[in-house]
Structure formats: structure tokens, C-alpha cells
């Protein structure tokens, strides 16, 4: 019986489900909108809203608290600190590191670009727009997007592919 069970299982085991939600949340943060099914969008909304709330709490916080909140977000997004650019003291390495940080570092995007946009908003950071049915299996599709998108980085819509 499913009495008082809160999470949606999506027909996956817990590791696969958590990885899928983490990847969807990272895509929403990176691209500010993702096309997916309605049930996935409703579950991902909870994850993204909690992460943005962590980012909002870091604004004006002490350095120790800010580092702690960034580590909590990195753990939830399963993003480890990158050592790709470690030990490269040249200017070329710095340029590559900054480019990677602005485009791919989800924690940096969340805390330094998205959180300041929502600093005066108390909640409701995302919206779900229903699209209709998918051609192949008639699944109800939706777009989950940030209500107030950051000024830069709106390249396009990231989509999820159906898993067979």
C-alpha cells in the first residue's frame, strides 16, 4: 500500500530517481527553463525552490555561513569541486577557469546570478507551463522555468529525452 508515501517513484529505484531529479534541477538552474513531463516538473519544482532559498539565505551572510550553504547546495546537486584547472598559474588557465565557471558551474550560477534576482521574493521562484501531449507516448508535457530569469544565459530550452 502507498498510504502516506510522499514521493513519486517514476518507476525507478531511489538512486536513479535522485540522479534524474538532480540533473533536471541543474538544467533548470543552468538554462532557466526545461521541457519535461508534468509529473517530473512538479517534483523538480520542489528541489529547485529549496536550492534557490539556500541561495537567498547566503546574501548578506557571513563568509562561513555562505561557504556552508554553497557546500549544502553542491551536495544536493552532486557537484564536486573541479580540479581541472588546479595548478595552472598562467593567464590562459584563468580565462578557461572563468569561462567554465560562468557557463557550467551550477553552484556559482545559483548563488551569484539567480539568488540576487530573487532576493526580495519570498517564494514561487518557478512556474510550470503545460504544453500538451508528446507525440510518441501521449505523455503530458510541460515547461518548468524560472519566473524572473537572469539577464544573461538564456540560450535555449533544454529538453529531456524519453527513457525506454
- 108 is in which domain, residue-wise? 15-149
Is position 97 within any domain? yes
Cα–Cα distances in Å, from 11 out to 14, 89, 138, 145, 159? 10, 48, 17, 25, 20
Report d(CA 37, CA 136) in Å as an integer: 13
Q: What is the mean pLDDT of residues 54-63?
A: 90
Is position 9 within any domain? no
Nearest CA to 107 among 155, 142, 75, 147?
75
> pTM to 2 decimals?
0.82
101 vs 106, more confident: 106
Is position 158 within any domain? no
Q: CATH number for the domain including 106?
A: 3.90.1030.10
Question: Mean pLDDT, the chain, as a whole number?
Answer: 86
Is position 160 within any domain? no
Q: What is the mean pLDDT of residues 28-44?
A: 95
Q: Look at the chain and report how many structural domains it folds into.
A: 1
CB-CB contact of 142 with 38 (8 Å): yes
Is position 154 within any domain? no
Beta bridge partners of 145: 33, 127
Q: Is the pLDDT of residue 111 over 70?
A: yes
Amino acid at each position: 500500500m502507498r498510504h502516506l508515501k510522499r514521493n513519486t517513484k517514476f518507476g525507478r529505484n531511489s538512486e536513479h530517481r535522485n540522479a534524474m531529479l538532480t540533473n533536471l534541477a541543474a538544467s533548470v538552474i543552468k538554462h532557466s527553463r526545461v521541457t519535461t513531463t508534468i509529473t517530473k516538473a512538479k517534483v523538480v519544482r520542489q528541489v529547485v525552490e529549496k536550492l534557490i532559498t539556500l541561495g537567498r539565505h547566503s546574501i548578506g551572510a557571513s563568509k562561513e555561513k555562505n561557504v556552508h550553504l554553497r557546500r549544502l547546495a553542491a551536495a544536493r546537486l552532486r557537484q564536486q569541486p573541479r580540479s581541472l584547472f588546479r595548478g595552472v598559474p598562467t593567464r590562459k588557465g584563468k580565462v578557461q577557469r572563468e569561462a567554465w565557471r560562468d557557463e557550467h558551474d551550477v553552484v556559482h550560477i545559483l548563488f551569484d546570478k539567480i539568488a540576487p534576482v530573487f532576493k526580495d521574493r519570498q517564494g514561487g521562484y518557478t512556474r510550470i507551463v503545460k504544453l500538451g501531449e508528446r507525440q510518441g507516448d501521449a505523455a503530458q508535457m510541460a515547461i518548468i522555468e524560472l519566473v524572473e530569469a537572469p539577464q544573461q544565459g538564456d540560450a535555449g530550452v533544454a529538453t529531456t529525452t524519453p527513457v525506454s
